[in-house]
Amino acid sequence: MSRNPRQTSSFPDAAHDAAAPAPVLSFAGVSMRYGRGQETLRGVSFSLQPGSFHFLTGPSGAGKSTLLKLIYLAARPSRGLITLFGQDLAVLPPRQLPHLRRRIGVVFQEFRLLDHLSAFDNVALPLRIAGKKPKAYRDDVAELLSWVGLGPRLHAMPATLSGGEKQRLAIARAVVSGPDILLADEPTGNVDDEMAQRILRLFVELNRQGTTVLIASHDRDLVARSGMPELRLEQGRLFDPAADSRMTPE
Amino acid sequence: MSAEAAQSFLRRWTPGPLMPRGDVRDASLVFVIAVLCFFACLAALAALAADRAAGGWAAQLQGSATVLVRPTGGESVDAAAARAAEALSGVRGVNEAVALEKDKALALLQPWLGKDALDDDLPAPRLVTLDLDPIAPASAADLGAALKAANIDATVDDHSLWIKDIVRAGAWARAAAVGVFALTALAAAAVIAHAARAVLAARHEIVEVLHVSGAEDRFIAGLLLRRFAAMAFVAGVIAAAGAGVLGAAVRLAGGGEGLTPPLPVAWIDLAALLPCPLLAAGVAALSARFSALGLLRDMSNKDWT
Ligand SMILES: Nc1ncnc2c1ncn2[C@@H]1O[C@H](COP(=O)(O)OP(=O)(O)OP(=O)(O)O)[C@@H](O)[C@H]1O
Ligand SMILES: [Mg+2]
């Protein structure tokens, strides 16, 4: 690639640049409402180049989690166009959803660990779903758990883990299958500063290996220190700090 | 956990159940399915017993025929009966033909003709009883033709009307048993469809995580399929064992020698109970799979997960 992907602008003009590779993800005028309520997202447009790293910031209730939900294919937009891995999601046949989802790793804000399964089984879940044989992934899962500092707790049930431990478990599950896109919703919300740095380093490492990363976070310190670009949501609108005047709210 | 403990955990580790086990092991569900399987087993035994009883009776009737000989012209009725017996014993498919003696014939006829009517003056008809070949019995037409050739005025009763009735009754009993069997299978399928949907609804959070992790509907339905099939198999074993004990008791109580014992259950019939657990598992698997797929499709139409 001719330029550092992490410096790639995430705004639509980048998509018009003929030299740019096809984006992994693009939103064009995307709006989303829950049921008959108000629009939670309004006319959101941006794109992520392969191998880019962005933070998604904004006040509570701005719609960060909702935006991620649209990307990990758990909700459909009420208006606008989303393209993921070159596929227009509006016309995607449902039977192709699982295949696409396997290329996305998600760390949920509320973790969503399976309470009846051990830490080890939780991390192994995406690999099992992908049809891998236990022998083939056993050691990788153990290694990853040690890496997030859960080596001594691999047989523990989620209910017996601390908030930070659950968070690290959720992260391990999201990255275990080497996804093309990693989405993390407040992945450092429950850990101390040192662990937050470690988690960030893990994400940067994955990003270096080619994973496109999008992290929703409140943690202004973390965002500032990382030096990574930021997508800022406010009341459901994407706010471009660099090109404030260019924004054309609908 | 020490490094060795972690190692030994890894060595012994087998993947945990993606759906919590307790959901399907619910005792009341096992009970309902076991009861339905039990009724299905009884219906199967009843069908076999009805078949055997009807077959036994029909075989007995088929093996014999009766000929009523009337006097003609100057010939005495006894002479005519003797001639008839002789003519009939030559027909193919007749093992033996015996003209009943006067007294026996009269005793048999008395209920129809009345006591007073039977005095010596009356030219009472005579009976010829035939023992037919059980494999290829002579037909009524053959017998009639033989009598006509010998110029004897007689009526042949090959019991075919009765046999028809018995065969028809047997068929009805069998159809009824099959109907009960089918109904209980359908009821079991409905119960399991309902339970599978209830499990999915109660565990929609797990379903969501599985979906987001890339699980296909088939995969999730497969989890329920295996779980419900295993549960129904256990219920089927319990039911078959119960029905087997009951069948054995009936067999011991009802005797069983001869073609038509009072309670026509044979030991071999109990073998019909063996497929019960497999059938129950099969019904449960199909039902759980299709109801789960239906509900999952509804879920994803609404919300993609
Ligand atoms: N399932 C839902 N049904 C209805 N409304 C919802 C649902 N989820 C979120 N909302 C609403 O959508 C808006 C945005 O919510 P969202 O969770 O996306 O915000 P957020 O930016 O992630 O907030 P936070 O930083 O607190 O996690 C909120 O007003 C919220 O009430
Ligand atoms: Mg949120």
Residues B48 and B168 in one domain: yes
Residues B43 and B92 in one domain: no
Note whether residue B247 is domain-resident: yes
| Cβ within 8 Å, pair A118-B16 | yes
| Cβ within 8 Å, pair A75-B205 | no
Contact B133, B95 (CB under 8 A): yes
pLDDT in tens, chain B (305 residues): 566 777 777 777 888 888 887 766 678 899 999 999 999 999 988 888 888 777 777 777 777 888 888 877 777 878 888 888 888 888 888 888 888 877 776 676 666 666 665 555 566 778 888 888 877 878 888 888 888 888 888 888 877 777 788 888 888 888 888 899 899 999 999 999 999 999 988 888 999 999 999 999 999 999 999 999 999 999 999 999 999 999 888 888 775 554 455 667 778 888 889 999 999 999 999 999 999 999 988 877 666 65
For the cut 50, the answer to whether the pLDDT of residue A82 exceeds it is: yes
Residues B202 and B125 in one domain: no
| Sign of torsion over alpha carbons B232, B235, B239, B244 | positive
A-B contacts (CB, under 8 Å)? 83
Q: How far is the CA of A100 from the centre of ligand 1 (A)?
A: 24
| Max CA pair span of chain A | 56
Note whether residue B147 is domain-resident: no
State the DSSP H helix or E strand holding residue A191, giving kind and residue range, or none if neither. none
Our answer on whether the CB atom of A175 is closer than 6 Å to any ligand 1 atom is no
Q: Who among B10, B18, B212 is closest to A101 (CB)?
A: B212
Answer whether B173 touches A (CB < 8 Å). no
Phi, psi (deg, nearest 5) at residue A56 = -115, 110
pTM for this one?
0.76
Note whether residue B28 is domain-resident: yes
Mean pLDDT on A1-18: 45
**Ligand with the closest atom to the CA of A62:** 1
Mean pLDDT on A208-228: 89
Atom of ligand 1 nearest to the CA of A109: 27
Q: Running DSSP on this structure, what letter comes out for residue A22?
A: P
Q: How far is the CA of B128 from the centre of ligand 2 (A)?
A: 100
Contact A68, A56 (CB under 8 A): yes
For the cut 70, the answer to whether the pLDDT of residue A4 exceeds it is: no
Q: Who among B1, B14, B212 is closest to A152 (CB)?
A: B1
Read off the pLDDT band of A15 (50, 70, 90).
very low
Residues B91 and B168 in one domain: no
Note whether residue B248 is domain-resident: yes
Residue A192 C-beta-side C-alpha neighbours within 13 Å: 2
pLDDT of residue A5: 44
* Angle, CA B190 vertex, CA A115 and CA A114 arms, to 5°: 5
Of chain A, the percentage scoring pLDDT greater than 90 comes to 48
Atom of ligand 1 nearest to the CA of A59: 25
Of chain A, the percentage scoring pLDDT greater than 70 comes to 88
Pairing of strands A53-57, A212-216: parallel
Residues B121 and B269 in one domain: no
pLDDT of residue A36: 86
- The structural domain count of chain B equals 2
Q: How far is the CA of A218 from the centre of ligand 1 (A)?
A: 14
Our answer on whether the CB atom of A61 is closer than 6 Å to any ligand 1 atom is yes
Last residue of a domain, one of B119, B136, B153: B136
Note whether residue B12 is domain-resident: yes
Interface predicted TM-score of the whole assembly (ipTM), two decimals: 0.85
Range of the domain at B130: 64-136
Residues of chain A positioned with their CB less than 8 A from the CB of B299 = none
Note whether residue B16 is domain-resident: yes
Residues B114 and B206 in one domain: no
Answer whether B205 touches A (CB < 8 Å). yes
**How does pLDDT run across A18-52, given as a tens digit for each residue?**
566 788 999 999 999 988 888 999 999 999 999 99
Our answer on whether the CB atom of A109 is closer than 6 Å to any ligand 1 atom is yes
Residues with Cβ within 8 Å of A229's Cβ and at least 6 positions away in sequence, in order, are A6, A7, A9, A10, A52, A53, A54, A55
Tokens linked to B47: 């069908």
Helix axes A134-147, A119-129, angle to 10 degrees: 130
Rounded to whole angstroms, what are the CA distances from B63 to B52, B56, B57, B78, B198?
A: 16, 11, 10, 25, 59
Residues B118 and B168 in one domain: no
Residues B213 and B266 in one domain: yes
Read off the pLDDT band of A185 (50, 70, 90).
very high
| Cβ within 8 Å, pair B214-A75 | no
For the cut 60, the answer to whether the pLDDT of residue A17 exceeds it is: no
Residues of chain A positioned with their CB less than 8 A from the CB of B304 = 73-76, 94, 97
Residues B247 and B130 in one domain: no
Contact B105, B154 (CB under 8 A): no
Q: How far is the CA of A206 from the centre of ligand 1 (A)?
A: 28
| Sign of torsion over alpha carbons A69, A72, A75, A81 | positive
pLDDT of residue A244: 43
Note whether residue B141 is domain-resident: no
pLDDT of residue B257: 55
Read off the pLDDT band of A245 (50, 70, 90).
very low
**How does pLDDT run across A114-157, given as a tens digit for each residue?**
999 999 999 999 999 999 988 888 888 999 999 888 888 888 99
pLDDT of residue B121: 58
Last residue of a domain, one of B136, B153, B184: B136
Residues B31 and B87 in one domain: no
Read off the pLDDT band of A242 (50, 70, 90).
low
Answer whether B112 touches A (CB < 8 Å). no
Residue of A33, A65, A107, A237 best suited for mutating to test ligand 1, as the one with most atoms within 8 Å of CB? A65
Residues B290 and B190 in one domain: yes
**Ligand with the closest atom to the CA of A59:** 1
Cα–Cα distance for residue pair B49/B174, rounded to 1 Å? 9
Note whether residue B154 is domain-resident: no
For the cut 60, the answer to whether the pLDDT of residue A13 exceeds it is: no
Residues of chain A positioned with their CB less than 8 A from the CB of B219 = 129
pLDDT of residue A108: 93
pLDDT of residue A14: 45
pLDDT of residue A101: 93
Our answer on whether the CB atom of A40 is closer than 6 Å to any ligand 1 atom is yes
| Cβ within 8 Å, pair A155-B9 | yes
* Ligand 1 atom 2, closest CA: A34
Interface test with B, best of A32, A34, A73, A78 (most B CBs within 10 A): A73
Residues B169 and B30 in one domain: yes
* Ligand 1 atom 1, closest CA: A34
Our answer on whether the CB atom of A42 is closer than 6 Å to any ligand 1 atom is no
